[in-house]
A and B are shown apart, each in its own frame.
Chain A
Amino acid sequence: MSGILPNWLLPGLAVALPVTGSLVIFRAGHWKHRMTGLAVTGTVLLVTLALTVIMAVTVADGNRIDLVLFPLLPPWPVAFRVDAMGAVFAMTVAGLFALAMMHAVGYLPDDRRQWRFHGFLLASLGCLIGVALAANLLTLLLFYEVFSLLAYPLIVHERKPEAFNAALKYLVYILSGGALVFTGIVLVQHIAGSGTFVAGGMLPDGASDPALIVAWAALMTGFGVKAALMPLHGWVPDVHPAAPSPFSAVLSGVMVAAGVFAILRVLFEIFGAGLLQRLGVLPWLAAFAGFAVIAGAMRAVAEDDLKRRLAYSTISQMAYVSLAASLASQTALAGALVHIVHHAFFKGGLFLCAGLIIATTGVRRISRMRGLGRRMPWTAGTLTLLALAMIGVPPLSGFTGKWVLGSGMAQAGGYAHLAIILAGSLLAALYLWPVVYRIWQTAEEPGPDCGEIPDRKPRQDNRWMLTAVLATGLITILLGLAPRLPGFPLELAETAARTLLGSPAWK
């Protein structure tokens, strides 16, 4: 499969291609035909996706691809390492970005500024893949910081005042988080003399506990901002509704996940399960994550704005992963990883649906969505499907993830954890079901405080958006039905979980 290209080239290309592509796309506004620009964007996206898939297949059986680029800060290099965990995340990122971009083509007005959006989106794709494939903390920090900043122009793309306010909040949170991450990484670098990820942990045992705990706390809080761990989540519910919907999808689907991903890397490949247990810090993580699962979901119930509700739901759902990680059990971890992937697509899909609804009808509030099902049956159908997936109804993808997650927790004896997960799912039903109910409610039975969907002329070219929405639905079904196909997330996640906990993959 990878005979065409040498293996070591793959990660480099997967990062470089979108970044270079973005530079080209910035100029696309000056091109004659819109289709040329779209074709270039599409090609870049598809090739990137293909590259990530090839990588995923290559590493599915426990192989690794290493690529050391150059010493950024001598002697510490920028280096890539493709392992199962990175590959599965990279693939998810590329896939969701492709869908979001497709959605954006329809969502954004056809003018020169759309290319700015596409350009920044491609650049952040490259950086996110960089995060996924980073072989050491320095590389991770590099791509992490850059994509955090690249999100700013994307959030404010529509130039709404509330977007600027939200983006300012975002920036304050993210930069502070970045500063903490920096502190943590510098500490790790100082303690260990390197920051290379090593399965099973790389910090020397001899290091002093206070230093280790400070480093751990700095890294957890730093990445926790991005991962929207609950006391640090403040930016999430503001930014998601303010950003253009295709970007909200990406934000919720993979950017938040990038924080969680980084947390996993730090927990298991810097500290290592053994060291963490010795330090006794995992219960803290569990407490925060558990709180986030419940509190996030409860806030979601109270929201009327669809995108805000989804944003809180993201906080709740992503905390599952941290919760699972705090158990340090192999199956739970595999479930957590799978959940990251599956969540990316169904949450991304939900945001894309919301975007389509907003673009078509201008309605953002759930209470005013009555009759939507009739007006936009495909969209409403997909939305329902995705909602079911998130609640965890079999055989959709959400179920698979939670099943593995839950069974892992049960195996590891984390019944409290399990209970939290179940409560989270229950709450998910509580905040998603009204949406489904409302959109299928017919206009003839008006409720007391329910507005009806206004009759606006839909935009001409919403085929792009609709295709993207439908694709997410299809993926959700596919991932739910056939999770164990080779190269599919579950298999990769299991490999990754085995590796993370320090048992070599080939055993």
Chain B
Amino acid sequence: MTAELIDLRPALAVVISLACAGAVFAARENARWRAIWSLSAAGVKFALVWSMLPGALGGAVYSFRVGEVLPGVAFGFRVDALGLFFALVSSTLWVLTTVYALAYMRKSHSLSRFFGYFALCISTTVGIAFAENLFTLFVFYELLTVCTYPLIMHNEDLAARRAGRKYLVYTLSGGGLILAGMAMVYASSGTLSLAQAGILDASAGGTTLLVIFVLLIAGFGVKAALMPLHAWLPAAMVAPTPVSALLHAVAVVKAGVFGIIRVIYDVFGADLLRQLGYTDWLAVLAGAVIIIASVKALRQRHIKARLAWSTISQLSYIVLAASLLAPLGTLAAIIHIANQAFSKITMFFVAGVIERGTGKTRVDELAGVGRQMPWTMAAFTLASLSFIGVPLTAGFVTKWYLSLGALQGGREVFVGVMVVSGLLNAAYWLPMVYQAFFRPMPADRKAPAGVSPMMVGPVLICAAYIILLGAGASAPAMPFSLAEAAARFAIELKASVE
């Protein structure tokens, strides 16, 4: 069924953005070449990643091994269904974000640095997705931290520096934890390969396993903004909007949850964790985070802050779903990577458009914006509905499978969490929609200026994707079946998905 094929494409997908970064750096302040390089690399990578989809759907696993870096520690790529799903999401979003960023950042400074590191981030993200072993994953994970840092600091003012410092302190400490965990995994099993659905076994001893679990989950949990470790994310909202999109949707937080999924299913393995029961605690934590972060979001007045807290809540959906260890829960975890990404990036794009167009950044300033920018706000509404979990939108798919997964895993209480969270989402998104569409516009509002079609276009495409993901799961060329395959592989329970 699963055939390993040696293929250069996984490596190429990583290298292409790397080359793009080099070209962008070399282009210095030449705006045209910068745009050309960024867009063409985004396009080529998009094509490369998607070209692996048919094969992957057919059960093929593409791999490319660079070599052993350290004894027993190889540097290599392996494209399984889960990794490809993640890569599909981020490479698709990269195209849109690049287009958006080119328009959004037009008047900014240090643009070659910005776009160069932007490309590097995606390069490392795809590296994370395609990593064959924990070491390769860790390498790219750390590089991602390094590459996002200049982007968060882009404004170079006090707030940006604070945010950047916070970000680094958190993520690098997380990296340290992962390193420790990884060393312990290696010491107790002699391999770091992610290819065999669980490399640890009970013989390692309870304490060791617990320590490894805590280290790895906490380490990845930093980027996944799992709650006691989340503080960097709301702080990082000072970054330019495309960077927020990158943080919240395309790369960074997703790398964290992706890592958690890998840890649960590929380092420990569902069977082992079922015996150990650690994931029950993780699920409880995630459930609490979902609710607490939503309540926090409710109290934010700044649009991007609200978005950031919502991200924290939404990411815990993925963590919760993954830790249910039920086939449908796993499916929900994987699917939500895409669902959250598209919904949240729509919102960030919209927040950016509003900021550029009207200068408004606060929730209570939105009155009448819907009339000024009907399409943009319609997209925002759609994304809100998706988070609330209205059928036909992407978010419903998650809510549905997650709830069923919770029942399947015998954790009924999380259905309640889903329901409450859906209502909380309604409570903080709908007032924004209400403000935008149903409140009269203040008389002194100026007509929006400086919003180019290059910003609105990505917004609408993302919004269309929300519908597509929500309604077109079975449509051809939708990666849903890929997610299903990944879930099946992760949980090794074919029957119950069907």
A–B direct contact (CB < 8 Å)? yes
Chain A interface (Cβ < 8 Å from any Cβ of B): 70-75, 138, 141-142, 145-146, 149, 153, 156, 159, 164, 171, 175-176, 179-180, 182-183, 186-187, 189-190
Complex Cα spacing A187 to B481, Å? 24
Find the A residue at minimum CB distance from B391. Answer: A142
* Chain A residues within 8 Å of B440, by CB: 159
How far does the alpha carbon of A413 sit from the alpha carbon of B433 in the complex, in Å? 52
The answer, among A70, A141, A190, for a CB contact under 8 Å with B474, is: A70
Q: Is the CB of A71 within 8 A of B404?
A: no
Contacts of A72 in B (CB 8 A): 391-392, 471, 473-474
Chain A nearest CB: distance from B389 CB in Å? 7
Contacts of B420 in A (CB 8 A): 179
Range class of the B interface residue count: 20 to 34
> In the bound complex, do residue B423 and residue A176 qualify as a contact, i.e. CB atoms below 8 Å apart?
yes
Taking CB atoms, residues of chain A closer than 8 Å to B475 are 70
Q: Which residues of B contact A159 (CB under 8 A)?
A: 438, 440
Q: In residues 358-412 of chain B, which contact A (Cβ within 8 Å)?
A: 385, 388-392, 397, 399-401, 403-404, 407-408
Cα-based distance from A75 to B399 in the complex (angstroms): 16
- Quick check: is B430 within 8 A (CB to CB) of the other chain? yes
Does any Cβ of A come within 8 Å of B416's Cβ? Answer: yes
Task: Sample 29 A-B pairs with CB under 8 A, ordered by A number.
Answer: A70-B472, A70-B474, A71-B474, A72-B391, A73-B473, A74-B473, A74-B474, A74-B480, A138-B391, A141-B391, A146-B390, A146-B391, A146-B392, A153-B437, A159-B440, A171-B426, A175-B423, A176-B423, A179-B420, A179-B422, A180-B419, A182-B399, A182-B403, A182-B422, A183-B403, A186-B404, A187-B415, A189-B404, A190-B407
Q: Report the minimum CB–CB distance from A223 to chain B (whole Å).
A: 15
Q: State how many angstroms separate the Cβ of B248 from the closest Cβ of chain A.
A: 25
A175: chain B residues at CB < 8 Å are: 388, 422-423, 426
Q: Please, which residues of chain B bring their CB within 8 A of the CB of A180?
A: 419
Task: Please name all residues of chain A whose beta carbon is closer than 8 Å to the beta carbon of B391 when the two chains form the complex.
Answer: 72, 138, 141-142, 145-146
Q: Which of B385, B473, B480, B498 contacts A149 (CB 8 A)?
A: B385
B438 x A190 contact (CB < 8 A): no
CB neighbours (8 Å) of A183 from chain B are 403, 415-416, 419
Q: How far is the CB of A123 from chain B (nearest CB, A)?
A: 12
CB distance from B438 to the nearest CB of A (A): 6
Q: Give the shortest distance, in Å, between B386 (CB) and chain A (any CB).
A: 12
Bound CA–CA A182/B400 (angstroms): 8
Alpha-carbon gap, A286 to B426, bound state (A)? 33
**Chain A at the B interface: mostly helix, strand, loop or mixed?**
helix
Chain A residues near B390 (CB-CB < 8 A):
145-146, 149
Known: A142-B391, A145-B390, A156-B438. A186 touches B471 (CB 8 A): no
CB distance from B407 to the nearest CB of A (A): 4
Task: Give the dominant DSSP class at B's interface.
Answer: helix
Contact A182–B397 (Cβ < 8 Å)? no
Measured CB to CB, the closest approach of chain A to B60, in angstroms, equals 21
The residue of chain B having its C-beta at the shortest distance from the C-beta of A142 within the complex is B391
A204 CB to nearest chain B CB (Å):
15
Whether A164 pairs with B474 at a CB distance below 8 angstroms is no
A270 → chain B, closest Cβ, in Å?
Answer: 16
* Complexed CA–CA distance, A156 and B399 (Å): 29
Residues on the A chain within 8 Å of B438, using CB: 153, 156, 159, 164
Instruction: Provide the residues of chain A in CB contact with B407, threshold 8 Å.
Output: 186-187, 190
The CA-CA distance from A179 to B498 in the complex, in Å, is: 26
Interface assignment of B484: CB less than 8 Å from any CB of chain A: yes
Residue of A with least CB distance to B421: A179
CB neighbours (8 Å) of B430 from chain A are: 171
Q: How far is the CA of A74 from the CA of B390 in the complex (A)?
A: 17
Chain A residue nearest in CB terms to B402 = A186
Docked CA distance A6–B297 (Å): 51
Which residues of A lie under 8 Å from residue B474 when comparing CB positions? 70-72, 74
Report the 10 A-B pairs with minimum CB-CB distance, sorted nearest first. A142-B391, A190-B407, A186-B403, A179-B419, A71-B474, A175-B426, A145-B391, A145-B390, A70-B474, A73-B400
What is the chain A residue whose CB lies nearest that of B496? A193
In Å, the complex CA distance between A30 and B289 comes to 47
Once the chains bind, are B498 and A75 in contact (CB under 8 Å)? yes
CB distance from B94 to the nearest CB of A (A): 27
Tell me which residues across on chain B come within 8 A of A71, comparing CB atoms: 473-474
Answer whether A186 and B423 are a contact pair too, CB < 8 Å, given A71-B474, A75-B498: no
